[in-house]
Structure 1
């Protein structure tokens, strides 16, 4: 039985991903800083929860050690975490910006490196990153998020060019818009303006299923009413 690892699990997109991967019979490892909130999802998907600060190298090594203990081949790794500091550029705290970059970009590097090391000997596997429109266009008062997401996109592109010829599919999903979550729905004056997490998750599954003769390294998803 193959294994899928999702890092940065919550009750939105990552929960949808967990359900779809579990429906395929994959063993799941669900990682988050606080795992208490994942009890119901873990029970539903028969997943194993692991507490992990993705920006901490020791935590990431321990996470993959736990994943190895489950046995089976690591087929899928999905990285979701991100962090941001809002505010005027001249006022944002440098220390908080550094923390945000460590979560959004450096953590992605740590997780992807560990995943690739396990996939390369078999010449098979998929590593997917959750990006944002901030990774292709920087918004005002959001410098840290733009920096982190641009770095994430660059990481994905570099990895794809290096690892695709070695059988590892690397994908970056640009989510251009707000995601509908439990307790968070479209305002009355903007119907249909949010992305459905199940629909986004289906796009991830399509990337996982892509034939290697037509691999995509990046896809964009946005509501049909979203301007761009």
Structure 2
């Protein structure tokens, strides 16, 4: 049977997780580079849905905003970047089981990996303790993001799209100009161009985040 390290089990308890099936939590913390029969991928799939429903439920109860505004906030709060931020905030990186090579390639601090493991832990919490317990834990861990107003401002790509339309320009064009690093710690550089105005670039751990960064940079230069 897979056994959690005592310090990892203590860390989980300190952050509100309740471990029952230890093998399940062991899998939730295991990256595919370890080559073991079970890793975090299936639990991440489940935890992603637990997180989404928990945040949607909170937003619906706390606000009478229209569907579009609710969706905008939801997308920001459950984003991979936000999940990775929560993971770092509670001290997750040292507890991820990842190969030496993947770790040396930057995997232990990758937004993609930390975000996935964070969701996998929510999947394990749901299976061990049910939805009510999982929802309470999400509200506890994500409270700073919920109370900070994350997602209330317009998405950078939407803002740029509206800016271009308002200035009688063609829609922005996004182009992937570089992808570097191994799959588990990839870096993407995207260029956005608005005809007869200019261009800007953004680099991040995912193509979507790089596009957002490029749009943000463009608006700062030309908006």
Scaled by the length of structure 1, the TM-score of the pair is 0.26
Scaled by the length of structure 2, the TM-score of the pair is 0.26
Name whichever structure is richer in strand by fraction: 1
- Which structure is larger by alpha-carbon Rg, 1 or 2? 2
